[in-house]
Structure 1
């Protein structure tokens, strides 16, 4: 359990350094509204002002306010409401609004889909929306999505009335600064974090204490298999330099790469998310953030998802700078750091370098997330030393090659062939940047599973009308 918040002031350096935007927020939630206090209400009362047709933002990942979502579902049924739309990234926990009798009243607009909504998305019960992660806040700021309400989970107010958006600042800051109604669920288990997630309680319309002590959602991190360990070691030994600034996507392969970096020096973190893997590197002094251009000395992140150990480490810790994803993931900001090394995974990649990450054939799987944001930022790094990396096992658990002649029917390209530089499997590294299609096919077939190389050679000839070659 996290301790009571201290009264010392929040750090505000991230807010002061946000890239300017012509799209102004409706309010500044870090500045108190004099003479205004939130109404302290029950879970049921908190959602009473949400009405038919409203657009509602939902705080995501570890911060998903599950009790509020349950209350909203009950409210919609009891009051015969319809056409309510939930706008969110990856959510965790139960999804009562997808149940029979509720699904025709509340519908998700999923901007990144987690495991709990995949079936709903692919069965037409929820909507899927592709968007670069760094642009999602602009949907709220530009009015493409006009938010009537925001459901958020926050840390306990300190002695001056300040709360924190905790584990997920990402798109939540843009949501609370542009929503008409803010409904906050206070939770002593939500870490008080520093940066752009500052919000004063005077901006809350409704404040709920009823769910105080609700356990934050945690990531189930399984053991790495041999494929993943090999890929991680290849990346660590060959593509990550001392002093590099790291971004890692979510998944077993980026986790494996982190696990293999214990012997490195002066690594920096500027990423949309991280999990428990950074803790070991901090303890080993492999991460110092000493060489970074953006917030040197600090880990810059937009959201975290991991264990209670990680959440407790974040609490009241100014070493971690949480930022609005609109600037954290902006390629123009990312490129300013030294040796930007972006490590992301994929579902499949074709012989020309097209990367599928958000779908398996016609089935939607996740979303764009920050992959393209950082692959591009690394590719255009100011120092010319960035390394954009796509890493994936050569073959699936079902024995199907992940390097394919053409992408599966219905699958979507997330990272284009023009963005790709390095592709890594357990069989090595393919460097695609600057190479033509014949050379790309040659590079990728070299790192394909040995059982697939002959058929891939034939498929490459059938597609390109020329044999793959290095010259």
Structure 2
């Protein structure tokens, strides 16, 4: 049966109290439908929204639509501050791979709201720039409502969705979110230079989001035959492909393919992935799978953090005890790189914060600070002052290596505090 075509303003009438409603996040957020829900607040009475929002991209507080609405999220942003304080937003810390499992274990989802590309000649839409959780939520859905966006690229991978799979479609024409390329400071440039020395020709890369991974990608222009297997790709990938640096020719699986779960960037990136057979969008059950990463020889994980202590513990999600973002896929990929033959992982971060007045290399994570990645998972720590290799290091050797990549002005204090720790032991 073909879907019914409706306007976005008609979607709120399809909801009823007590429903569990999944709304797609990332760069595929169905913005026209969300605006309709925002302007018709009564429709969200006793609705429990569920969404995998991405900080920096998604800013909609679903729990604010109605005083009796709730929301479950796996990442925190400042947009959720008030509803979280009111206990209307439920934050569940999880590895990205476990979110997929969590969704798969739900009995059902009453309504799933997604955004897809226009159908091809055979009547199939693609997942566009965000495939991450699409298979599992479609499998669990009782009702599927799709924004069919003329601006959404038609992409390849594991998801082709027949129009018959949708109950309702809302035809829209709006551009995708534009994630501007960040400018690089001299400190970020130095981080990129150091990190690039850990990457070899033929490696397959995973990278997180933000200025630090971007700085590293920008220093790979002299490398050859790199591959990509990542949860997300950005504009820098386009440059690496066009320059011939990334071709995937040495990948042990998915040879010649860029594998990703989502794309977030500018129109240049979205045009690049449109009908590009080199780029395959796969769900989290594949991109974040340890079994898959184990098959990728020379798999290198590149991520960032807020601070690292002298034990090697990584905090990537709290500042002064306040939750920002979530655990994400950092640990998934770090552990995947460890299973890979000749795999490596690095955490790269600026050595200081607050205009140089606070060290990001700290003696010990303070009370209330979350450990995102355990010390036993960490391999390389990279700052603008060098590389700390923590592999097979004792407690003292770890501390010494990390102090050496801290900002010089903080090294005496870190050394003195570490010595005090040792005396306490």
- Whether the TM-score (by the shorter chain) exceeds 0.5 is yes
TM-score (normalizing by structure 1): 0.86
For residue 397 of structure 1, the aligned residue among 354, 359, 362 is 354
Q: Is 1:135–2:92 an aligned residue pair?
A: no
After TM superposition, the structure 1 stretch with the greater mean CA deviation from structure 2, 425-434 or 104-113, is 104-113
| Local SS of the residue matching 1:233 | helix
Which residue pairs with 2:307 in the alignment?
Answer: 348
Distance in 2, matches of 1:369 and 1:96, equals 19
Give, in angstroms, the shift of residue 264 of structure 1: 0.3
After TM superposition, the structure 1 stretch with the greater mean CA deviation from structure 2, 175-184 or 251-260, is 175-184
Residues 247-285 of structure 1 deviation map (CA, whole Å, 9 limit, x = unaligned)? 000011100000000110000000111100111111110
Distance in 1, matches of 2:81 and 2:317, equals 11
Which residue pairs with 1:426 in the alignment?
Answer: 384
Contact 1:162–1:198 (CA under 8 A) maintained in structure 2: yes
Distance in 2, matches of 1:56 and 1:456, equals 49
Task: Classify 1:423/1:79 alpha carbon distance in 2 versus 1 (closer, same or farther; 3 Å).
Answer: closer
Give, in angstroms, the shift of residue 234 of structure 1: 0.6
5+ residue gaps, structure 1, are 1-35
Distance in 2, matches of 1:117 and 1:276, equals 28
| Aligned length, in residue pairs | 423
Give, in angstroms, the shift of residue 305 of structure 1: 0.6
Q: Is 1:300–2:300 an aligned residue pair?
A: no
Residues 443-469 of structure 1 deviation map (CA, whole Å, 9 limit, x = unaligned)? 1001010010011011112223389xx
For residue 161 of structure 1, the aligned residue among 98, 123, 131 is 123
Give, in angstroms, the shift of residue 146 of structure 1: 3.6
TM-score (normalizing by structure 2): 0.95
After TM superposition, the structure 1 stretch with the greater mean CA deviation from structure 2, 40-49 or 443-452, is 40-49
Contact 1:121–1:364 (CA under 8 A) maintained in structure 2: no
| Local SS of the residue matching 1:177 | helix
| Local SS of the residue matching 2:144 | strand
5+ residue gaps, structure 2, are none
Distance in 1, matches of 2:353 and 2:140, equals 43
Q: Is 1:253–2:217 an aligned residue pair?
A: no
Q: Is 1:222–2:192 an aligned residue pair?
A: no
Counterparts of 1:106-145 in structure 2 under 5 Å?
106-114=69-77, 116-117=79-80, 121=84, 124-143=87-106
Contact 2:61–2:79 (CA under 8 A) maintained in structure 1: no
Task: Classify 1:131/1:280 alpha carbon distance in 2 versus 1 (closer, same or farther; 3 Å).
Answer: same
| Local SS of the residue matching 1:190 | coil
For residue 60 of structure 1, the aligned residue among 3, 16, 25 is 25
Higher strand share goes to which structure? Answer: 2
For residue 287 of structure 1, the aligned residue among 223, 242, 246 is 246
Distance in 1, matches of 2:395 and 2:205, equals 29
Give, in angstroms, the shift of residue 105 of structure 1: 2.8
Distance in 2, matches of 1:169 and 1:285, equals 26
Which residue pairs with 2:416 in the alignment?
Answer: 458
Task: Classify 1:371/1:422 alpha carbon distance in 2 versus 1 (closer, same or farther; 3 Å).
Answer: same
For residue 335 of structure 1, the aligned residue among 284, 294, 304 is 294
Higher helix share goes to which structure? Answer: 2
Contact 2:46–2:70 (CA under 8 A) maintained in structure 1: no
Contact 2:49–2:63 (CA under 8 A) maintained in structure 1: no
Residues 168-194 of structure 1 deviation map (CA, whole Å, 9 limit, x = unaligned)? 111122111211111100101101111
Contact 1:391–1:423 (CA under 8 A) maintained in structure 2: yes
Residues 127-162 of structure 1 deviation map (CA, whole Å, 9 limit, x = unaligned)? 32211111211112122x742111101101112210
For residue 317 of structure 2, the aligned residue among 329, 349, 358 is 358
Q: Is 1:87–2:51 an aligned residue pair?
A: yes
Give, in angstroms, the shift of residue 95 of structure 1: 2.3
Give, in angstroms, the shift of residue 424 of structure 1: 0.4
For residue 15 of structure 2, the aligned residue among 33, 41, 50 is 50
